[in-house]
Amino acid sequence: MRGRILVVDDEPLKRITLQIELSEHGYEVYEAADALTARRIFDSKPIDVVVTDVRMPGMNGLDLLAHIKQTRPQVEVVLMTAYASVDTAVLAIKRGAYDYITKPFTTQELLTKLDRLFAARKPIERDDDIETFGELVARSASMKRLFAQLRAVADTDRTILLCGESGTGKELFAQAIHDHSPRAGKPLIRFSCAALQPTVLESELFGHAKGAFTGAHRQKAGRFELANGGTILLDEVDDIPTEVQVKLLRVVEQQEFERVGGETPIRVDVRLICATKRDLLLLVKEGRFREDLYYRLNVISLAIPPLRERPEDIPVLANHFIEKHASLVSDQKVTISPHAVDELIRHNWPGNARELEHVIERALAFCGGDEIRPEHILPLAREGGGSARQGLELAEVGKLGLNETVADIERRLILMALRQCNGNQARAAQKLGIPRTTLRDKMAKYNIPVS
């Protein structure tokens, strides 16, 4: 097999012809009639190249290109267009497309581009044991089983309850479920119910009428209205006060509610996904969560295992986060050393995948080269202690004092950015996310010579 290609075109004859003829030349070919179907295939298959039409109903080829480059930037894209123009070509290339081809074209013309593409690129390192679901990646059997369960229920309208510790990626799970459902082209509204007063939470969820309370100068649509036709994720659903739970129960049962201060019932068509880090049944027994609401939300309950229970996923996620945050370093490929991986596996990860992502972000900023080594990821936060993003023990800070420690880190980051940009101040300032004038001031402050 020469490679895996996804062909996306709303013209059935062209799409099927390309599938047959590219297959005859040794490629494994998948095909999709629209961009939403293509996204589902792309998110679940190890695609090497996407060949997509530009103009299609709904999501167009440029939007699909953006999704591909955000999710797996190493995958190349060739755009097909009957409306070729310099502007379209330049825009596509700027957004990361490998090339474009003008309709009508022969299969041989496309094959020439594909042969050149595969000859020039490094083969994508793949592991057949790794499975993806949306932006989620895993090697462990427990996560693969969870992915299979999610695929089985994603295209239904049933309520899903995601249970898992903080940092396990519940928002990414909700995004993947939404993207693999018939509602993918509609809104996905995310909302955290944590630590909000009942009146504020009710207004945020259901909206309010003009004059409903002091300061309500205009009518406001709530999250359920904004999600109409699509999906709503209610995170930290365990924090919803009991007085608001009554109104939520009505929405779940009847898809109907009134705005705060309003009298007209509003009907919505919304798929509900809830997320919690606590045991809702225990809260029911304690009288802090309504039993009837619990059984309405617990239609399909899925438990996300913590990272410490699936250590085989740690190297996979580390490499995934390295690719995701590669823009923090130069264009060269960054790897992670076996000794660094050993340190990651030894850690207990109380903050789960979110903590691991922060550690990798920090390591990329400090490695200053093509390999992440143990010194770039240590020290890791102790269990029950601060976030890994802090990256310093208080004892270390105490040696210099807080201001001196912050200044030392800032100076090192500036030196690193300048080194990675070969002394180019404009590029270094852009990498650091500060104006060039600010960079010059800080270089003077820290006596960093101008190269």
Domain ranges in the chain? 3-120, 137-303, 310-437
- Domain 310-437 maps to which CATH number in 3.90.1720.10, 3.30.1950.10, 1.10.8.60, 1.20.120.420? 1.10.8.60
Tokens standing for residue 269: 């068509």
C-beta neighbour count of 232 within 10 angstroms: 24
- Least trusted range by pLDDT, from 68-77, 288-297, 416-425: 416-425
**More confident of the two residues 418 and 316:** 316
Structure tokens belonging to residue 121 = 């690129």
Which DSSP category does 73 fall into?
T
Q: Residue 391: its pLDDT value, please?
A: 37
The residue among 232, 235, 239 whose CA lies nearest residue 170 is: 235
Rounded Cα–Cα distance for residues 407 and 413 (Å): 10
| Angle at alpha carbon of residue 355, lines to 354 and 359, rounded to 5° | 120
* Minimum mean pLDDT range among 45-59, 118-132, 289-303, 369-383: 118-132
Q: Is 3 helix (H, G, I), strand (E, B) or coil?
A: strand
pLDDT digits 0-9 by tens, 200-223: 999 999 999 988 787 878 899 999
pLDDT in tens, 289-343: 999 999 999 999 999 999 999 988 999 999 999 988 876 666 678 889 888 888 8
Bigger pLDDT: 441 vs 44: 441
Looking at residue 70, what is its pLDDT?
83
In whole angstroms, what is the distance from residue 448 CA to residue 408 CA?
Answer: 12
pLDDT value at 224 more than 70? yes
CATH number of 3-120: 3.40.50.2300
Q: Which among 354, 348, 346, 277 is positioned nearest to 317, based on CA atoms?
A: 354
Between 330 and 5, the more confident residue is: 5
pLDDT of 12: 86
Do domains 3-120 and 137-303 share one topology? The answer is yes
Whether the bond between 379 and the residue before it is cis, its omega within 30 degrees of 0, is: yes
Give the residue, 90 or 27, on which the prediction is more confident.
27
Residue 127: which residues within 8 A CB-CB, separation 6 or more? 139, 316
Question: Which pLDDT belongs to residue 28?
Answer: 86
pTM summary value: 0.60
Q: What is the mean pLDDT of the chain?
A: 85
pLDDT attached to residue 396: 39
In DSSP terms, 27 is beta-bridged to: 3
Question: In residues, how long is the chain?
Answer: 451
- CA gap 244, 235 in Å, rounded: 15
What does the pLDDT look like over 333-381, one tens digit per residue? Answer: 888 988 888 889 888 899 999 999 999 988 888 887 778 888 888 777 6
What pLDDT, on a 0 to 100 scale, did the predictor assign at position 451? 61
Task: Specify the pLDDT at position 424.
Answer: 81
Does the structure show a pLDDT above 60 at 402? no
| Mean pLDDT of the 393-420 span | 61
- Decide yes or no: CATH 3.40.50.300 for domain 137-303: yes
Of 255 and 387, the structure prediction assigns the larger pLDDT to 255
State how far the Cα of 189 lies from the Cα of 240, in Å rounded to an integer. Answer: 17
Max CA-CA distance within the chain?
A: 71
Three-state DSSP at 301 gives strand
Does the pLDDT at position 278 exceed 90?
yes
pLDDT tier at 393, thresholds 50, 70, 90: very low
* CA 310 – CA 345 distance, rounded (Å): 10
